[in-house]
Amino acid sequence: MTVDAAPLSVVVLISGTGSNLQALIDASARRGYVVHAVISNRPQAAGLARAAEAGIATRVVDHTAFSDRDTFDAALAEAIDAYAPDLVVLAGFMRILTAGFVTRYAGRMINVHPSLLPQFQGLNTHRRALEAGVSEHGASVHYVTTELDGGPVIAQTRVAVEPADDDARLAARVLEREHILLPQVVEWFAEHRLAMREGQVWFDNTPLPQPLQC
Ligand code: GRF
């Protein structure tokens, strides 16, 4: 598979630690994409320092400064569009987005979610997985659609739940896998292997019967 001379341009949205952002930055050169900017809705997000350290432009669009979701999303879209990215990656971005915003980036916005979707949409996924007694847990990367954590799943990574697992232990193991999963999916975008058509994931011009496994 050949990669274009111009690497895929990516803008990453974060709210916190940014370990997935770090994984994306670290893998970017060898995987054929460039992280052009990092935008946070929280001024204190530790991921902003990671971006600055890597010489990547940062922006803060603080949601607390906006009276409603529509005006926040409009400001966020303006910040993103200044970089004209090919792909928007939500990496620990903890805001619910309006339908208008999601539609604007349809087919070119993805999210990493710490569960094997469609299981455990929403928050506290690791605790809920343990409470449900599942033997397998993991993470998913999916296209963002208007259904929260409900867009078509591109790829997943699986971890076995161990008897000694508590919330933190399981979360740490899943997070390690997320750091492999997310750069892999962005590489597939860089290689033009992914598309969303009629609400389905297409890979190598074929509809995916089930998520890819990483
Ligand atoms: C990850 O578990 C991600 O799946 C979830 O939030 C966490 C973000 O971690 N959406 P980090 O900020 O990338 O370290």
Closest ligand 1 atom to Cα of 16: 12
pLDDT surpasses 70 at 3: no
98: nearest Cα among 118, 117, 77, 121: 77
The predicted-structure confidence for 19-77, as pLDDT tens digits, reads as follows 999 999 999 999 999 999 999 999 999 999 999 999 999 999 999 999 999 999 999 99
Q: Is residue 208 part of a domain?
A: yes
Q: Whose CA is nearest to atom 14 of ligand 1?
A: 19
Q: Give the CB-side neighbour count of residue 31, counting CA atoms within 13 A.
A: 22
The CA–CA distances, whole Å, from 6 to 188, 191, 210 equal: 15, 11, 30
Q: CB under 8 Å to 157, separation ≥6 — which residues?
A: 138, 139, 174, 177, 178, 180, 181, 213, 214
Ligand 1 pocket at CB < 6 A: 16-21, 47, 91-92, 112-114, 139, 175, 178
| pLDDT given for residue 1 in this prediction | 52
State in Å: Cα 5 to ligand 1 middle: 31
Structural domain of residue 207, as residue ranges?
8-213
Q: Is residue 1 part of a domain?
A: no
Q: Is residue 74 part of a domain?
A: yes
Closest ligand 1 atom to Cα of 21: 13
Domain count, the chain: 1
Q: How far is the C-alpha of 35 from the C-alpha of 89, rounded, in Å?
A: 10
Q: Whose CA is nearest to atom 3 of ligand 1?
A: 92
Catalytic one of 36, 113, 126, 142: 113
Q: How far is the C-alpha of 201 from the C-alpha of 151, rounded, in Å?
A: 10
Q: Is residue 192 part of a domain?
A: yes
Catalytic residue check, 113 = yes
Q: Whose CA is nearest to atom 2 of ligand 1?
A: 114
- Specify the CATH number for the domain of residue 44: 3.40.50.170
pTM: 0.97
Share of the chain above pLDDT 90, in %: 97
From 175, 180, 185, the mutation candidate for ligand 1 (largest count of ligand atoms within 8 A of CB) is: 175
**What is the residue whose two structure tokens read 């390690």?**
176
Confidence bin at 4 (pLDDT 50/70/90): low
The predicted-structure confidence for 147-181, as pLDDT tens digits, reads as follows 999 999 999 999 999 999 999 999 999 999 999 99
| pLDDT given for residue 210 in this prediction | 97
Q: Is residue 2 part of a domain?
A: no
The predicted-structure confidence for 129-146, as pLDDT tens digits, reads as follows 999 999 999 999 999 999
Closest ligand 1 atom to Cα of 91: 13
